[in-house]
Chains A and B, each alone.
Chain A
Amino acid sequence: MAAEQQSRAKQVLGPDDVRRAITRIAHEITERNRGASGVALVGIQTGGVWVAEALAGEIERIDDAGAGVRVGSVDASLYRDDIGLRPVSPGAVSELTFTIDGATVVLVDDVLYTGRTVRAALDAVGDYGRPRLVQLAVLVDRGHRELPIRPDYVGKNLPTSSEEIVTVTSDGVVIS
């Protein structure tokens, strides 16, 4: 079974592609928001956290005000709409130590799929304060949305079937 899955695994993006996508999204975020001041990157636990940190690193490199970009994370598991329907598996604990009132919050995740996690994360962020606006950045949009949610920044649109599993790391994107 494992070997069979191995043989079906398909690398669709390499490490360089992921790095370039992060650089491009970092540029788009600073362009759209006219610089990085007031921007807070909030990674969705657990897969979005490293992406948010990588984006912050890039923004710091390319924007004069980038050194001040704030990075946090939010765990959406207590806001999900499928609580009681599947095993409890919270990721790491939320870390939002700065105030988000009036900030431009960019929610960051690795894969956008049904949109339900993003919906839960929006509710979670709302419990910390009232951002001026919220945007969504994802490395991979694999389609199959079940809610009216669309990303503002996309690394790669990836048509998939719902049976497939998409794995995203800094080493690339694999469909299996």
Chain B
Amino acid sequence: MTRSLLSISELGVAGVGRILDLADHMAEVNRRPNPKVPALRGKTVCNLFFEDSTRTRLSFETAAKRLSADTMTFAVSQSSLNKGESLRDTIETIGAMGVDAFVIRHGSSGAPWQLGQWTTASVVNAGDGWHAHPTQALLDMYTVRVALNRREGFDGLRVAIVGDVKHSRVARSTSAAFRLLGADVTLVAPRTLLPPVHDEHSTSDLDDVLDDVDVVYLLRLQRERMSEALVPTLREYTNRFGLTPARAARLGKHVLVMHPGPMNRGVEIAVDPAELPGNVITQQVTNGISVRMAVLFDLLGSGSESSLAGGADG
């Protein structure tokens, strides 16, 4: 049975809880002087990144190595895709070398599902188009859970996700995960960058929500995905939706400030995050390794109950 991690909704609340519990074990491994365990010896993980990435690619690679899995990293720019080989043929070629999991980032929404049709290996969605980025959502949930010591869920937690919601797969996956765990999520963005459904869960007035939140989640303004003038000027965007010194001063000390990276300093975040009491942006990166270890171990390290008789204790 092949299992994959494609979206938060397919994972479900039980799956999210399972991954977050496993991440505690991985975080303990990562705190050791020698942060490596033999759990996935003999497994091979292939990273397929069709879009630029620093932290997600390195995070998955580190996660696989700390579990003793072998890694292959596929650089699209140096591949036979440039000679006209189709994606399907490329996948089948790599698969023939023996791969247990593909980690894929692709500019087209749905690409990981398509990949799943072509391979018997597990597929992990590392970001597809505007659609989903489930491991980012999981590491965000883990970061909040650890920072606020909320193991039992996020009932009553007030979260504002601020910025370029429209283009953001992070906003989609992270808001879905927050809601799955019981938090109240408000999307804050210019009208041009909000989803078409306007309700009490979305607003264009950041100052209106800032006094009543526990988590401020800033999104990156994705200028590379904008083909039209959705934002008048960067300065106006910062004035209305950026975390400016004036807004930072209004935040309660308990309020967590999060950002998926990479940050546009001076745009969505116009203060030095290191000076914010609730800044957990660095922890998000660190936790990303633990959470991706948990995801890989959950997919590749588990089997069915019946395949091994007895031997559970002893």
Contacts and interface: CB of A to CB of B under 8 A. Distances in A.
Interface of A: 47, 75, 77-79, 82-88, 90, 93-94, 111-117, 123, 127-128, 142, 144, 162, 166
A142 B302 CA distance: 27
A90 B29 CA distance: 13
A86 B314 contact: no
A86 B298 CA distance: 11
A113 B301 contact: no
Interface string B1-38: 00000000000000000100110110111001010111
Interface of B: 18, 21-22, 24-25, 27-29, 32, 34, 36-40, 67, 297-298, 300-305, 307-308, 310-314
B37 A85 contact: no
Contacts of B300: 84
Given A78-B37, A88-B301, A94-B28, A113 B308 contact: no
B277 to A, nearest CB: 27
A88 B297 contact: yes
Contacts of B25: 75, 77-78, 90, 93-94
Given A78-B25, A78-B38, A79-B39, A84 B303 contact: yes
Among all A-B residue pairs, the 8 with the closest Cβ atoms: A113-B314, A88-B302, A78-B37, A114-B314, A78-B39, A85-B308, A85-B303, A83-B301
B311 A88 contact: no
A90 B18 CA distance: 10
Nearest to A124: B37
B39 to A, nearest CB: 4
B39 A144 contact: no
A90 to B, nearest CB: 5
Nearest to B314: A113
A86 B24 contact: no
Given A78-B39, A79-B37, A117-B313, A84 B301 contact: yes
